[in-house]
Structure 1
């Protein structure tokens, strides 16, 4: 598409608020998901370290099966 000005580009024939709002919401949701994944990873690593300390450092994967 070819736009006659930046203003026309941002307005997109009246659909601009919907289009840019959708992009904004998607960006916010991706950022929230990233924060939640990193937080869950941190919690999981801490739980595994506590578990490792509780059962001893010589635990092998074969003994868990």
Structure 2
């Protein structure tokens, strides 16, 4: 079984896990937003280049 007894370091350990989770989620959201933005810009450029 997993031993979760961390003694006096419990706040440091779980705080580190929490900060890491927040950072990874934030980076994922920022990446998705940036991808969507760049995709829209590319589509606009392609549409503009196809017009006579």
* TMscore range, shorter length: 0.7 to 0.9
Q: Tell me which of the two structures has the higher relative contact order, counting C-alpha pairs closer than 8 angstroms and 6 or more residues apart.
A: 2
Q: CA deviation at 1:32?
A: 0.3
TM-score (norm 1): 0.70
Q: Which ranges of structure 1 fall in alignment gaps of 5 or more residues?
A: 58-65
Q: Which ranges of structure 2 fall in alignment gaps of 5 or more residues?
A: none
TM-score (norm 2): 0.86
Match of residue 49 from structure 1: 43
Matches within 5 A, 1:9-20: 9=5, 12-20=6-14
Indicate the structure (1 or 2) with the bigger Cα radius of gyration: 1
